[in-house]
Structure 1
Amino acid sequence: MKKVLFIEAAYLKGGIETFILNVAKNIDQKKFELYLLKECEIASIESDFLALGGKIIRITSFSENKIRYLKDLKNIIKKYNFDIIHINKNSLSNPLPIIISKKYKVPKIILHSHNTNPTNGNASIRVHNFFKHKMKKYNLIRLACSEKAAHWMFNDNDQYDIIKNGIDVDDYKYSETSRILKRKELGIDDQLCIVSVGRLSKQKNPFFIIDIFEKILESHKNSLLFMIGTGELESELKSYIVNKNIEKNVKLLGSRNDIDELLQAMDIFLMPSLYEGLPISAIEAQASGLPMLISSTVDNGVILLESTEVEKLESIPEKWAAHLLKLYSKSIRKNTADVLRKSGYDIKNTVHLIETIYSQ
């Protein structure tokens, strides 16, 4: 049995955490013993990962104490003798897992790109670009969720493979019965329901989502906006909503384990992100048959259905609102599971590729 360490899980659940959990749920654990590295006291997917038979390893936070983090990392890698270290990253602002894994001769080191920008500012971009160049000399297995994510993380001559962010398609398959039941549970009658899924962070553009929705309310006064996710902007966002006097129409649902059911109840999905790799939430929305409007900065590889359309990020809220309503008016909800499978987004396909890479 091969020992695999996933790096790393954060306090808030995002695309990386969802990917790791989806792999852990479906991988052959008779062949692979799974470990998860966390810097926080309680990782977002910790209980689920443990329930699947995985093991959790705590490390000092890199941002809080870099020297202690380095010492911990060395001790962990020496102690456990991992066969594979699968490093899932948005950027190379912290290259130490790669450097230390190489130093201690871990047999297989995977660098997996999940985004097209760091999550913490311009300073990280400069650090990322510096270490990106330094990574040329490292013999790594390079994976990315999209071409844009690959170009962000890797150098021009680096060899890499695209691993699609697969999901359990059947969990999201559209059902009119499920839709009726969930809308009843949520207290929804015939209102137009708009949904966004993602961390309440700058990347996801949450204040702009509110601005767009405010314009929707001008013509659809009973509309509801459901925002699924938590993040550092949550408190500020709540004040922004109250100041606009639309708190009765905006539902901040926090982190949820029933996203597949919630998507059944919705009418349209909104994603005006500043940047994205290839967002799992967009795959989930299309698997549920939802029409979706995304920003021009989102990798167009995410577009799997005719009911997914693009609006320029710089467009004003009025234009976004008009486009959203037009898309909603012409869309017919249907079962899209087979389209997702044929496009390679079934988690079984993703895990087969991962297992092949681990076993080589």
Structure 2
Amino acid sequence: MKILVHGLSAQRGGVESFLLDYCSCMIASSCHSFDFVLYGTGIPDYADGLQSLGCVFHTVVPRTSDPIKNRIQLSELVSSGEYDLVWFNACTLSDVSLLKAARRYGVPCVLHSHNSSPMGNGINALLHRLHKTEVSNLFEYGIACSDYAAEFMFPDECRFGNRCRVIPNAVDCDRFRYREDQRQAIRRELGLGDSLVLGHVGRFTEQKNHAYLLKVFAEVKRLVCDARLMLLGTGSLEAHVADAARELGFGNDVVFVGSVSDAYRYYSAMDCFVFPSIYEGMPLALLEAQASGLPCVVSDAISSMSFVSQNISVLPLGCDPVKWAEAVFEGVQAVGNREGAADYLASMGYGIDESASAVLKILLQSVFSEK
């Protein structure tokens, strides 16, 4: 079976990491192939691994740049007879052009929801609501990474029927296992010493709420003056966050790591993972942090399906950042055997092999139910 995948962008984020790991896992365990459609960008550097597995990347003009050419190129892709299925990974339904093209040419689709709230501007939110009313006619089966993501993406008749299934995201638990040698290496590399290190992994966007994270960090530093904050990721607000950190007088206490392909090493160097997102589907970063045995302090906007570890504190964003700082210290004091956390996460069904197998089963079902 040959599958055309929608969902990659120029910058690596949660959905991109999901597709890298899941497609690699499915290619290794089956004879199926996965190609990707990109919009207006070249092949991103982070996708080198997929290229080495034989994946092909098709670049089309974005709809916002040239809607007519976009429609023609998408139509050519799905009408070629080359693909058995479109796997549409989405954070919003603001652009469903590929789903409509596939429907016109009889190519079955799986819609996979990775988000729980509108992204972008008000126009995108309006388009999402509009397309949600008609999207049930554009896919065979739906997958959602959480209950929140299902409610956001799928009409009620799909969610409460038999066309939609929640399959929680999962991770390569052993890769994110705590390792003392990695902890010491990263701490030497970044000059962290024995400091208390708070960590966050995510794009610099409004959704990830770095502004509130800095407020929490300020409260932590009132009690532990040599505390450090490690930020992994890139994004449009990175410079703004860096300016805010300087204005708060943090100097080098906030470490901007950037986007890295070996994020698993950095989790071992952290002492607590702080995640004050305004909304999420089911964040891979939070699962990765739990696999590394980190205490996690997270917002109540995140589905409880993401909470596997026993050392998670869930707090509202409306409360005083002091409460978040107190939760950080309580979590750090309660840390047990970090090495065993990866095995626990896998035993609870959050290992990637089991989850990828469940996703592949639905992809296959979507094709063969059409035959």
TM-score range (shorter-chain normalised) is over 0.9
1:6 and 2:2 correspond? no
Is the deviation greater in 272-281 or in 204-213? 204-213
Structure-1 separation of matches of 2:37 and 2:139: 22
Structure-2 separation of matches of 1:138 and 1:266: 43
* Percentage identity across paired residues of the two chains: 27
1:206 corresponds in structure 2 to 210
AA at the equivalent of 1:109: C
2:175 corresponds in structure 1 to 171
* CA shift digits 1:254-282 (9 cap, x unpaired): 10111111001110001000000100000
2:24 corresponds in structure 1 to 25
2:244 corresponds in structure 1 to 240
1:15 corresponds in structure 2 to 14
Find the residue that maps to 1:87 and give its secondary structure: strand
Normalising by structure 2, we get a TM-score of 0.92
* CA shift digits 1:284-313 (9 cap, x unpaired): 000000000000101111000110110111
Is the deviation greater in 115-124 or in 343-352? 115-124
AA at the equivalent of 2:236: E
Find the residue that maps to 1:27 and give its secondary structure: helix
Q: Tell me the CA shift for residue 196 of structure 1.
A: 0.3
Structure-2 separation of matches of 1:157 and 1:270: 36
Contact 1:10 1:44 in 2 (8 A): no
Map 1:151-190; keep pairs closer than 5 Å: 151-158=151-158, 159-190=163-194
Of 340, 355, 363 in structure 2, the residue corresponding to residue 358 of structure 1 is 363
2:132 corresponds in structure 1 to 132
Contact 1:9 1:45 in 2 (8 A): no
1:228 corresponds in structure 2 to 232
Is the deviation greater in 323-332 or in 31-40? 323-332
Find the residue that maps to 2:110 and give its secondary structure: strand
2:105 corresponds in structure 1 to 104
Structure-2 separation of matches of 1:72 and 1:139: 20
Map 1:1-360; keep pairs closer than 5 Å: 2-28=1-27, 31-39=31-39, 40-43=41-44, 45-79=46-80, 81-106=82-107, 108-158=108-158, 159-334=163-338, 335-360=340-365
Q: How many aligned positions are there?
A: 358
Structure-2 separation of matches of 1:181 and 1:134: 52
Structure-2 separation of matches of 1:326 and 1:273: 20
Find the residue that maps to 1:9 and give its secondary structure: coil
Normalising by structure 1, we get a TM-score of 0.95
Is the deviation greater in 160-169 or in 330-339? 330-339
Structure 2 unaligned residues grouped into runs of 5+: 366-371
Structure 1 unaligned residues grouped into runs of 5+: none
Structure 1 runs of 4+ aligned residues shifted over 4 Å read none
CA RMSD of aligned residues (A): 1.6
